[in-house]
Each structure stands twice: as C-alpha cells, then as structure tokens.
A and B are shown apart, each in its own frame.
Chain A
C-alpha cells in the first residue's frame, strides 16, 4: 500500500508539473496531458510493484537465513497475494473514498447531464480494479520468480488496457465489460499458477 502511494505521489508530481507548465485553456492539450498522466502513472505503479518484489525477495532471503529449517515462514506466493491486495486496496480506497464521503451528503446524481449511474459504475470499476491488482500481484511475482518476462509484460499490458478502457467512460460498456473479462482471465491464470486446477475446483464445489 505504501509503495502504491509513493508511485501515485511521483506520478501526480509529474502530471502537476506538466499541467502547470502548460496552458490551462487548451482543452485537448489538457486532455492529452491527462492521458499521458494516466499512462505514466500505470507504468510507475508497475515499476514500484517490481521494486517491492525486489524488497520482498531480500526479506525472504533474510528470513530463510535466520530460520532453522531453511524455509521461511511465509512463502513468496503469500507475499505476492498480500502485495497485490495492498496495491489494490490502496488504489480502491483512493478512488472511492471521496466519492463515498460525497455520497453521504445531499445532491442529485447526474443533474448536469452526466450519467446517473456514476456511483454504481464507479463502485463496480473500483471493485474490478482491486481484484485485478490482487491477481496482477500474483502473476507479476510469479513472472519475476521464474524469469518469465512475457508474464510481466502481459501484466503491464493488461493494466494499460484497463486504464485505457476507462477513457471510454461514460460509455460504460466500453470500460466495464472488457475489464471484467480481463479480470476473469487474470483470475483463472492466477489460480492455475497458484497450483489450482479444474479438479481442485470441482472438488471444492462439490464439497468433497
């Protein structure tokens, strides 16, 4: 969560500088800057995820060295899950909390002609992002562990795609649907990577 926060900080710093240095009246430029800011932020988040991975790696080595039987009390997969969850929760919290605070107050949604489903779609989008961050955490760490660069690039590409799809808002079908599909794919992939299988799922569902 902290690392996500730091990445957010740096990316907003860049955006802020860019905005201050440019002409506030120029609409397309501002929009362009915003897009640039979003993309840059995504890349920065992934970089920080990588840095966090490095830090955890060192921590695990330390734990292993200290422990008696040569294995650390917490596995890298657990760490991956927790890292992803932390990123997701922070990202979700930052996205939603002001919205929620405003939702408590008086007002009408979409009175100026915006979409009336603003709150709902925001909620769904946030949820999908949180899940995605968790899965990306698992995929990313797995990729780093086994040196499979294509997994890492897939995660980054997915993140960029999801953020990019939000540019379609308020055409919600353009952003929510692809995001959910991607989430399903990422979920299945992460599940398989973590050792699950169709058989396990089957057994779980039938409560054997």
Chain B
C-alpha cells in the first residue's frame, strides 16, 4: 500500500486526489500497508500472526519544489516530475526492500541447512493439534486442512481483537503487550537459537559469557525497536527477529499444514486488506482518520525521512500509537517486535526546527522509504526455509523460490505504484513461490539431475 504523505498542505494541490487516502499532514510516516498481520509466536504457545502490508511512500516530489506560487502552471510539470520521481524512487525503493528480504531469507536458509535442530520434528504447536503421522494420504490431507482452519481462525480472531483495541484506544494495553512479546522474542528465542548454533559447531561457551551476550543483545534490541536507535541497527534487529520467528514456524509446523497455511494466509491477506469490511482495511482507515501512523510497530521501514519546515508539531509522530498486538494467552507469547521505524525516525532525523508555515519554502528532500510488514518477511522466509528444508536436498528449489518471491514483491510494489493504496504483499509472492516450489521440486529436479549426470548444458 502506498500512501503518500505530504507534509505540507499548502502545495501539492494537484496531488490531492492522490493524497486523498492519507492525511495531508502526517508525520513522517507514510502509511502503508499491506495486510496487517501480527503474529505472536511462542515456543509452544500460541501464535498469532500479524501481517503488515508493505507500504510505499513515494517520494514527495519535493526536492527543491518551492512554494505554491504559480501552481497551475507548474501543475503539469509537477505531475510529470512527480511521476518520474515516483518511478525512479520506486525502483530505488524496490531495491531497498530486496536487500532486507534477501538477508532474512539468507539467514533462515543458512540456519536450516546447518543447524539440525530446526529440521527435527519435536512436537507441534497447540495451534496445529492434528498430527500428520497418519497412514493414509486422505487422512493426512484432512488433518492439514483442519490445522489450517484452526490457525487461520486464530489469526482472524486476533486481528479483529487488535482492530477493536485500536478502535477503542486501548493503547496502553497494546503497548504493554508489544513490549512483552518483543521481550520474549529477543531473549528466549535468541537464547535457544544461540544454544543450537553453538551445539552444531561444537563451540563451548560458559554461562556468564552467554548471559552477557544475550543480555546485551536483548537490551539493545528492545531499545532500538521500541525507542530510538540508529536506523540500520533497527533494521538489523527487525530482520533477525523475523528470521527467528520464521525458524520457529518452520520447526513447528508440520509439512503439509505449512504449505496449506501459506496458501490460506495469502488468501486471507487478500480478503482482509481489500474487502471493505476487512479488519485490516478498517484498521488502516481508522488510523488515517485519526492522523496517526498505523502501527509503527511491526513494520519494517527503510525510510530516511527528513521532515523540514512543518508548522505542526510532530505530534502524531510520537509513538502514541505504538500498537503491537500480542496474543497474550497466558502471557507467554512472543510477538514480533514492532518496528517503530517511523517514530524513531522522526525523532532521530528531524534536524531542523519547525518553522512557521507561512514561510514555507522548501521542503527538504523527503525521501520516504518503503514499508513492509514484518509478517510478510516472516512468511517469505518460511516459504524459502521450508523449501530448503524439505526439498530433496536441492538448492535449485530454494533458489527458484527465492527468485519467485522477489519477482512477486516487485510486482506488488508495481501495483502499489499504480493503485496507491494498501495492498497485500503476500498473495502474489506466495503464489509464485508455491508454484515454483512444487514445480521445481517435481519437474525440474529430475531434468537437471539427468543433465548434470551427463554433463549436458542447456
């Protein structure tokens, strides 16, 4: 979803129809979105998913564009320039998203291929109660479909709950929930992950060192994500968290259920974001009505935003709406940490004091980044990780899924540029990924293997 945020409401008259979806004076947070989805994962606890959409804030044509004098004359040039800038920055934004998605996938694939722990079957989550160890194919299929139904309904319930919380402004609750979940994620999962990696490479580490390392990692992570921090560190933490979540999913979701869940979730994403009564769409609209950034948490943003010359204080930029949504069943849930990219960014990167709006001259360059929900990261990584784990030892399948997902992401961003509203990021990529996974595994692999055996090249 791309929403364009204009910081100055005096110019950009011509952009009004495009900016009608978002409020004119919004804080540096361009909204976005694709399906919002929050997920909470717990070691053996409830998982909740949240999806967030990707958003793209195209560049606000603004560099150098000055006041709104002679607007009509400049309207057409403005629009042209705007479009060109959009395209240029659009391409840049696509690249800015490729890198983190690729990094996340690389981390997941590397872990899966090297650490045995994540491919061993050690039980299932309570959200997928039906086992897949059944003798007949039909039974297995039925079980996986039932698992999917349960999982998806949990997600729907959680999403609706979140929307209600947001509507009734229970910010503190959401805030607390979020902190709890990111705490669990940052400490517990990292501890387990580190333990497994050390076991795999047979490296000894004493408890004090371990404690020190994990404490530092977790503490810095909490600060970076929930408060302020350097942008790149924050992005790195978000990527790591998404990778950890994805690894948990890969480990605890049984095979067929995982694939069916991936498919079902992209359909759900589509419905939730695009239908008028969909929870995610309502969330987006509510946030827009209130001029608040929608869930700065749980969103990965690659933006670098300099907001200059705003008469209005950056009120909305404040993380009042730091919603994160936790599936606190027994308070033992982990949630994806929110990515408070925007709020932090506005704080760390507004070097200039606000100036009265009358002397509105140039707005500095506002380079809005792209936003992609962490749920999308997680599911992309789950797909690629599952491909790496379960394809018959084949790297081709993994590579094919990877390319398919990136192309899907590209297409989604393209659609975003065309439609300029919230779009789900999952469906296209996951569809491509699934098609390529199954076809590469079954069709291409024998072909390539035979070719390689004879050393033939095509």
- A1 CA / B403 CA spacing, docked (Å): 8
What's the nearest-Cβ distance from chain A to residue B65, in Å?
14
Contact: A125 with B457, CB < 8 Å? yes
Given A13-B439, A66-B87, A94 and B457 contact (CB-CB distance below 8 Å): no
B455 at the interface (CB under 8 A from A): yes
Q: What A residues does B446 contact at CB under 8 A? A: 12, 16, 19
B407 at the interface (CB under 8 A from A): yes
Q: What A residues does B457 contact at CB under 8 A? A: 95, 125-126, 129, 162-163, 166
Q: What B residues does A122 contact at CB under 8 A? A: 455
Flag B45-85 by CB within 8 Å of A: 1 or 0 each: 00000000000000000000000000000000100110110
User: Interface range on chain B: under 10, 10 to 19, 20 to 34, or 35 or more?
Assistant: 20 to 34
A167 at the interface (CB under 8 A from B): yes
Q: What A residues does B436 contact at CB under 8 A? A: 5, 9
What's the nearest-Cβ distance from chain A to residue B259, in Å?
18
A91 at the interface (CB under 8 A from B): yes
- A163 CA / B448 CA spacing, docked (Å): 14
B440 at the interface (CB under 8 A from A): yes
Contact: A66 with B84, CB < 8 Å? yes
B102 at the interface (CB under 8 A from A): no
Given A1-B403, A66-B80, A121 and B455 contact (CB-CB distance below 8 Å): yes
Flag B399-422 by CB within 8 Å of A: 1 or 0 each: 110011001000000000000000
By beta carbon, the residue of chain A nearest B88 is: A73
Q: What A residues does B81 contact at CB under 8 A? A: 68
Flag B142-158 by CB within 8 Å of A: 1 or 0 each: 00000000000000000
B204 at the interface (CB under 8 A from A): no
Q: What A residues does B400 contact at CB under 8 A? A: 5
Given A38-B451, A94-B396, A13 and B443 contact (CB-CB distance below 8 Å): yes
Q: What B residues does A181 contact at CB under 8 A? A: none
Given A9-B439, A68-B80, A68-B84, A169 and B456 contact (CB-CB distance below 8 Å): yes
Which one of A90, A97, A101 contacts B403 once the chains associate, using CB atoms below 8 Å? A90
Flag A1-45 by CB within 8 Å of B: 1 or 0 each: 110010011011101100100000000000000100110011001
A63 at the interface (CB under 8 A from B): yes
Given A1-B403, A5-B436, A101-B395, A166 and B444 contact (CB-CB distance below 8 Å): no
Q: What B residues does A94 contact at CB under 8 A? A: 396, 399, 448
A33-68 contacts to B, CB under 8 A, are 34, 37-38, 41-42, 45, 63, 66-68
Q: What B residues does A38 contact at CB under 8 A? A: 451, 456, 458
Given A9-B436, A63-B87, A98 and B395 contact (CB-CB distance below 8 Å): yes
Which one of B77, B84, B395 contacts A97 once the chains associate, using CB atoms below 8 Å? B395
Given A163-B457, A167-B456, A169-B454, A97 and B399 contact (CB-CB distance below 8 Å): yes
Give me the interface of A with B, judged by CB distance under 8 Å. 1-2, 5, 8-9, 11-13, 15-16, 19, 34, 37-38, 41-42, 45, 63, 66-68, 73, 90-91, 93-95, 97-99, 101, 118, 121-122, 125-126, 129, 162-163, 166-167, 169-170
* 6 cross-chain pairs, A with B, having the tightest CB-CB distances, nearest first: A12-B447, A169-B455, A97-B395, A12-B444, A41-B458, A166-B457
Give me the interface of B with A, judged by CB distance under 8 Å. 77, 80-81, 83-84, 87-88, 394-396, 399-400, 403-404, 407, 436, 439-440, 442-444, 446-448, 450-452, 454-458
Pairs A–B under 8 Å by Cβ, sample size 13: A2-B407, A5-B400, A5-B403, A9-B440, A11-B458, A13-B439, A16-B443, A38-B456, A66-B80, A95-B452, A98-B394, A162-B457, A169-B455
